[in-house]
Amino acid sequence: MPSPAAPSAGPPPAPGLGRALRQPRYVRTAWPWRATLYLVTSVPLGLVTLTALLLLAVAGSALTVILIGIPLLLTLVLAGIPVAALERSRLRLVDPRPLAPAHREPEGTGLPAWLRTRLQERATWRELGYALLFALVLWPLEALAVGTALVVCGGLIAAPVMLAASGGEEARVLKIWLIHTYPPAFAALLAGLVLLPLFAYPLGIVAAGRAALTRQLLSAPDDGPDSRIRELGLSRTRLVDAFEAERRRIERDLHDGAQQRLVALSMTLGLARLEGPAEPLAGLLAKAHEEAGAALVEIRELIRGIHPQVLTDRGLQAAVEDVADRSPVPVDVDFDLPGRLPETVETAVYFAVCEALANVAKHSGADRARVSGRAERGRLVVEVSDDGAGGAGTGSGTGLQGVADRISVLDGHLLVSSPPGGPTVFRLQVPLPPAAPADPADPADTRT
């Protein structure tokens, strides 16, 4: 009878250097070199950070009376942002897990909106605190750790060279003891070679601790209100997925059921008219044929409004081109996408573009419109612009508020710039999950 599994002693070690330190082959891998490189590169970066912060603080304080120092002090407050971005990249030397930026997209365009957003974020002030800690405390400690290892091992290994440089008379090893012959010098060399792999462990521990501190200070907390907010966002996303699945089921039922019956009815009425019945009955058949055709057109429009087949089969770009072709205002389409996107993203963006083009046709008085889309920095950016009279907004009864709400469920943003006199620019951004590419349409679901 198998014995029950022993309870876990704790969470598994983090991937990367933390896990490598627990392996017997640690000194024979590349991790000691990566840990040393991580600590060594901290020294020049820390010196540069300390110099920049001191210059900004001194110059900004001295020049504040003539207002020139205000931009310098503002730059000092924001100095943690580039330092944190560089530290997130450098962290990959010892920790392969990506550390995502903690900043959100500005709620408007231009430098003032960017500054307002950054100064209101807690992440900006946390990164400034990290920059100060890095400049004043962390890099000197790392320099001490690396310097100690280099001085001890290097001094021992260089003993024969130092003795030879003195003409074979004497050499002082590590400024502690004198050697006068080569056997003690080579013994010191051997001791240095033995200590070299042994120093890899304390340096690795220092680098792992430094990496853990960096991750803790530069990432959002995993508990508290933020965690509940993220869980709420996930639940909203699951509701959207369920809603889209239900939409597609209704569209499939209408396409395969009611539409096919109307097609068969229309064909039957057409064949009945060809039989040449009496004149009164022929008129009724003609009218019934027309009504069946009108009902078929309406149900096709209804199916397209629920979920267009072209979006399922060919993706967002083809679906936008289709709705642009049917727009009463000429529309230019310019998309540059890496392929099929997640289904929820394609659906939300498609209906957002439809709403924007409907507003262009109804309210703008534009002569021409343009739809562009591209993927940049892990986000899908789509813009709908026109040369109309402007004055559009999310609160003006144009349906854009509903679009903004739908995009926000996907953690996206909607920006509308529409000054009086135009032009109007409708810009939306939606994150693209890197590990969730959209699957191509199921061949079994292809319908005629």
Nearest to 446, CA basis, from 306, 340, 343, 312 = 312
Omega before 420 within 30 of 0, i.e. cis: no
* Average pLDDT of every residue of the chain: 76
Domain stop point among 258, 285, 306: 306
- Give the CA angle between residues 303, 306, 307 to the nearest 5°: 85
Nearest to 320, CA basis, from 359, 364, 351, 360 = 351
Nearest to 353, CA basis, from 311, 384, 332, 322 = 384
The verdict on 266 and 391 lying in the same domain is no
- What mean pLDDT comes out for the span 39-67? 89
The verdict on 286 and 359 lying in the same domain is no
- What mean pLDDT comes out for the span 63-72? 82
**For residue 7, pLDDT beyond 70:** no
Strands (E), 131-256: 171-173, 177-179
pTM score > 0.75 for this model? no
Q: Compare 77 and 255 and report the one with higher pLDDT.
A: 77
DSSP designation for 384: E
- Could you report the per-residue pLDDT of 146-181, keeping only the tens digit for each? 888 888 877 777 777 777 777 767 777 766 777 767
Domain stop point among 276, 306, 336: 306
SS3 at position 428: strand
Percentage above 70 pLDDT, the chain: 71
- What mean pLDDT comes out for the span 7-25? 65
- Could you report the per-residue pLDDT of 289-308, keeping only the tens digit for each? 666 666 666 666 555 555 57
Q: Are 342 and 350 in contact (CB under 8 A)?
A: no
The verdict on 428 and 354 lying in the same domain is yes
Assigned domain for 274 exists: yes
Q: Are 406 and 361 in contact (CB under 8 A)?
A: no
Confidence (pLDDT) at 13: 47
Assigned domain for 65 exists: yes
Domain stop point among 158, 190, 218: 218
The verdict on 372 and 406 lying in the same domain is yes
- Could you report the per-residue pLDDT of 362-381, keeping only the tens digit for each? 877 888 899 999 988 788 89
The domain in which residue 155 lies consists of 20-218
